Amino acid sequence: MRINGYYCRVFMLFTYTTFLVLEFVTRCSAIEVYHEWHVSLDTNVSPLNVNQSVIAINEMFPGPLINVTTNDVVHVNVFNNLDEPLLFTWHGIQQRLNSWQDGVSGTNCPILPHHNWTYVFQTKDQIGTFFYYPSIQFQKAAGGFGAIRVNNRDVIAVPFPKPEAEFDLLIGDWSTEDYKISKSMMRNKDVNSYAVPKFILMNGKGPYGNNLSKSFESFTVTRGKSYRFRISNVGNALSLNLRIQNHEMLLVETEGSYTNQILLDSLDVHIGQSYSVIVKTNQSEADYYIVASPKLTNTNDSSDLLGIGVLHYSNSTRGVTGPLPTGPDPFDVEFSRNQARSIRWNLTAGAARPNPQGSFNVSNVTLSHTFILLGSLEEISGLPLYAVNNVSYYTIGTPLKLADHFVNGSGVYQLDAFPHDSVNANASYGISVVSGKHKGWAEFVFKNKMNVMDTWHLDGFGFFLVGFGDGDWTPASRDTYNLVDPVVRSTVQVYPGGWTAVYAFLDNPGMWNLRSQVLKRWYLGQELYIRVFDADPDPAKERPPPENLLLCG
Ligand SMILES: *[C@@H]1O[C@H](CO)[C@@H](O)[C@H](O)[C@H]1NC(C)=O
Ligand SMILES: *[C@@H]1O[C@H](CO)[C@@H](O)[C@H](O)[C@H]1NC(C)=O
Ligand SMILES: *[C@@H]1O[C@H](CO)[C@@H](O)[C@H](O)[C@H]1NC(C)=O
Ligand SMILES: *[C@@H]1O[C@H](CO)[C@@H](O)[C@H](O)[C@H]1NC(C)=O
Ligand SMILES: *[C@@H]1O[C@H](CO)[C@@H](O)[C@H](O)[C@H]1NC(C)=O
Ligand SMILES: *[C@@H]1O[C@H](CO)[C@@H](O)[C@H](O)[C@H]1NC(C)=O
Ligand SMILES: *[C@@H]1O[C@H](CO)[C@@H](O)[C@H](O)[C@H]1NC(C)=O
Ligand SMILES: *[C@@H]1O[C@H](CO)[C@@H](O)[C@H](O)[C@H]1NC(C)=O
Ligand SMILES: *[C@@H]1O[C@H](CO)[C@@H](O)[C@H](O)[C@H]1NC(C)=O
Ligand SMILES: *[C@@H]1O[C@H](CO)[C@@H](O)[C@H](O)[C@H]1NC(C)=O
Ligand SMILES: *[C@@H]1O[C@H](CO)[C@@H](O)[C@H](O)[C@H]1NC(C)=O
Ligand SMILES: *[C@@H]1O[C@H](CO)[C@@H](O)[C@H](O)[C@H]1NC(C)=O
């Protein structure tokens, strides 16, 4: 294994005590992990008996698992065999000091068709369950996604017994329309008539028992053991409720934070969110249904819009039986909100480092910024667009990060022109970039006045999820915040007619994307960038551009 001296030097700056010498040695022997991906449109891997091109990686859909450990250095050499530019983003991987590898339009030039480019990033100080996908051109609707596991280093205790095995479970809605047609029509016409979800897939497979499915997902387990399921909602439009017939799920982790362990009959997983649950196979030898059903949507057992897989006990001789397990009323928002509120950080569990997760105490932080962000559907020059505070993000050819590096942003975007805590009276386009104070605490309040779910994701950071509320947010809403043990994650749902508040400690300089994770909202402009600027050019603070930096724009 090659040793990357850069990471050792960086760490040395922080390492003066003998206590950390062991830590230092472990880090300097960071493992390098290599992937070579050939990305193409492929009709063979389409999940349904529908002639549909799917974005496959090495002819696989979903793409290959990235299975790494804290501080590993991952190299992904991406060969773009699509007929369009391509970028991958690593959802939830914080890219510490290194927004150069974030893979969104504001940080990277796309990989052109018939070209390849190698991402190199470190899973620094992280553990947890994440996933990746293409970030531009609406390509995520056509697949290209896959699971990322960041395992704990051996020296760090995990707060639950080692399971018999781990399974990745990528659930998400799926449209059978060609993604290129969806994206061109959506831009011009009725945004709600295109890219409409028709199925819910599990690991890229259609529902069990559906005559359009080419196959269905099945997990083989041994009776009397425990299994870890790493669940992510890789979909584009729908929040999902997940459950397993006759089995409870012990929630243990979300997006890199160990949670207080709670037993659940069913779990709401919103778009872009990830969870780990432990399932005990303590029922009789049989096969059991695994069901993912949409929130805020009526379905019945014969609806296409149900993800259905199977938990197969190895000695079972009979297939699944009985009705599908029922979940909560999909329209019961209060149930969902209460479940979300009950997901707390386990303050005594270690995570990537030996110190407890909860050594960050947010009960007493001084906020340096408040961003109040309203996502909405607007119309500009007769075209439907999504906006934040009535500004729809306009994607330019020059990545903002490059503009910053070469010309300090000048002439490309106007820093802080975006209305960070109010809604403009008129809808407009904008290249929205706001300043985040380096090492300041930011409060973000996400508001949703529409009658559908919204989800927000921040690159570069985990945020402390301090509150959910119904109705309008006012400063008095802060009295309801949970500042004691809020969970840290990177993606959060906003209920119809409600708000969600998070705190983020902006200790990661760079250019960071904040976006709706609902794909059509993101694609049509519901995003902005947070520029966290550190005037110190010391590369130990922010990394220089990679040697293979692509230029464009
Ligand atoms: C699938 O559709 C493509 C064009 O969208 C067409 O070229 C191809 O022949 C079709 N394949 C089948 C098996 O129908
Ligand atoms: C993932 O990596 C861990 C740690 O190296 C290893 O124990 C496990 O077998 C790997 N799993 C897969 C599916 O590759
Ligand atoms: C493209 O792939 C080749 C190996 O086939 C590799 O040597 C080269 O570094 C890659 N190019 C980039 C820009 O990553
Ligand atoms: C929190 O983590 C600790 C340390 O690993 C563990 O012993 C404890 O059971 C966990 N508590 C809960 C409520 O999950
Ligand atoms: C598939 O199932 C649907 C009802 O679920 C039925 O209407 C249709 O005829 C079936 N198609 C085939 C080819 O069996
Ligand atoms: C499954 O069946 C085999 C063969 O009968 C037996 O050896 C094994 O113990 C059984 N496993 C379980 C979990 O019961
Ligand atoms: C099976 O395990 C669950 C926890 O996952 C527990 O609540 C339940 O009581 C157990 N059932 C039996 C039959 O042991
Ligand atoms: C199930 O829902 C579908 C629409 O999603 C409807 O067409 C069908 O009649 C319903 N079936 C039953 C048995 O209610
Ligand atoms: C809380 O804030 C006060 C005033 O800013 C400060 O004096 C105190 O040390 C802080 N306490 C903690 C635990 O950070
Ligand atoms: C967090 O800090 C507050 C005061 O600043 C203190 O009252 C509280 O006990 C601290 N909580 C933890 C878990 O350390
Ligand atoms: C670049 O912009 C920052 C403010 O965002 C400013 O502090 C700094 O002085 C600028 N640098 C140059 C070289 O203009
Ligand atoms: C955005 O501006 C338009 C006028 O251009 C206005 O009709 C609309 O209500 C505004 N949106 C919001 C959320 O205030």
* Helix/strand/coil (H/E/C) assignment for every residue in 7-72: HHHHHHHCCCCHHHHHHHHHHHCCCEEEEEEEEEEECCCCCECCCCCEEEECCECCCCCEEEECCC
Report the atom number in ligand 4 closest to the C-alpha of 159. 5
Q: Is the CB of 248 under 6 A from ligand 7?
A: yes
User: Which contacts qualify for 180-187: CB closer than 8 Å, 24 or more apart?
Assistant: 180/138, 182/138, 182/141, 183/137, 183/138, 183/141, 183/523, 186/138, 186/384, 186/520, 186/523, 186/524, 187/383, 187/524
CB-CB contact of 351 with 254 (8 Å): no
Q: Give distance in angstroms: CA of 417 to centre of ligand 6.
A: 67
From 500, 91, 90, select the one nearest 272 (Cα to Cα).
91
CA of 232 to the centre of ligand 10 (A): 32
The finding on whether 380 has its CB within 6 A of some atom of ligand 12 is no
Burial readout 392-413 (b: 16 or more C-beta within 10 A, e: otherwise): bbeeeebbbbbbbeeeebeebb
Among 284, 315, 317, which residue has the most ligand 6 atoms within 8 Å of its CB, making it the best to mutate?
315
pLDDT attached to residue 539: 65
Pocket lining: 548 vs ligand 3, CB cutoff 6 Å: yes
Nearest C-alpha neighbor of 208 from the set 287, 261, 284, 145 = 287
Which listed ligand is nearest to 80 at the C-alpha?
Answer: 3
CA dist 511 and 445 (Å) reads 20
Q: How far is the CA of 461 from the centre of ligand 10 (A)?
A: 23
359 in contact with ligand 9, CB cutoff 6 A: no
Does a cis peptide bond (omega within 30 degrees of 0) precede residue 62?
yes
Contact status, residue 175 vs residue 196, Cβ threshold 8 Å: yes
The answer to whether the 31-151 and 165-330 domains have the same CATH topology is: yes
Ligand 4, atom 6, lies closest to the CA of 159
Atom of ligand 8 nearest to the CA of 302: 1
Name the β-bridge partners of 412: none
Could you say which ligand is closest to the alpha carbon of residue 252?
A: 4
Look at ligand 2, atom 2, and give the residue with the nearest C-alpha: 67
Domain ranges of the chain: 31-151, 165-330, 361-533
Determine whether 331 is exposed, middle or buried from the number of CB atoms within 10 Å of its CB (0-12, 13-18, 19+): exposed
Q: Alpha-carbon torsion 420, 421, 426, 427, what sign?
A: positive
Residue whose token pair is 């709706």 = 516
Of all atoms in ligand 4, which is nearest to the CA of residue 260? 14
Q: Which CATH class is domain 31-151?
A: mainly beta
Indicate the helix (H) or strand (E) that contains 522. helix 519-523
Cβ(67) – ligand 2 distance below 6 Å: yes
Predicted local distance difference test score (pLDDT) of residue 10: 37
Ranges of the chain with pLDDT below 70: 1-29, 539
Cα radius of gyration (the chain): 22
Whether 282 is in the pocket of ligand 7, judged by its Cβ within 6 Å, is yes
Q: Is domain 361-533 in CATH 3.40.50.720, yes or no?
A: no
Does the C-beta of 151 come closer than 6 Å to ligand 2? yes
Q: Find the 408 Cα to ligand 11 centroid distance in Å.
A: 6
Q: Please, what is the Cα angle at 438 between 435 and 442, to 5 degrees?
A: 65
Q: Which ligand is nearest to the CA of 449?
A: 12
* 119-135 residue pLDDT tens: 999 999 999 999 999 99
Task: Please identify, by atom number, the ligand 12 atom nearest to the C-alpha of residue 380.
Answer: 5
Angle at CA of residue 99, ends 491 and 111, nearest 5°: 100
What's the confidence (pLDDT) of residue 6? Answer: 36
For the CA of 250, the nearest ligand:
7
Please say whether the beta carbons of 269 and 242 come within 8 A: yes
Q: What is the dihedral of CA 483, 151, 267, 210, to 10 degrees?
A: 160
How many Cα atoms occupy the beta-carbon half-sphere of 43 within 13 Å? 6
The CB of 315 under 6 Å from ligand 6? The reply is yes
Which are the contacts of 94, defined by CB distance < 8 A and separation ≥ 6? Answer: 124, 126, 459, 460, 461, 462, 508
H or E stretch including 179? helix 179-188
Phi first, then psi: give them for residue 400, nearest 5 degrees. -60, -35
Q: What is the CATH number of domain 165-330?
A: 2.60.40.420
Spatial separation of the C-alpha atoms in residues 507 and 509, rounded to whole Å:
6
- 160 Cα–ligand 4 center, Å: 8
Distance (Å, rounded) from C-alpha 74 to C-alpha 121? 5
pTM > 0.85: yes
Tell me if 176 CB under 6 Å of ligand 4.
no
- Are 399 and 553 in contact by the 8 Å Cβ rule? The answer is yes
Does residue 314 line the site of ligand 4, with CB under 6 A? no
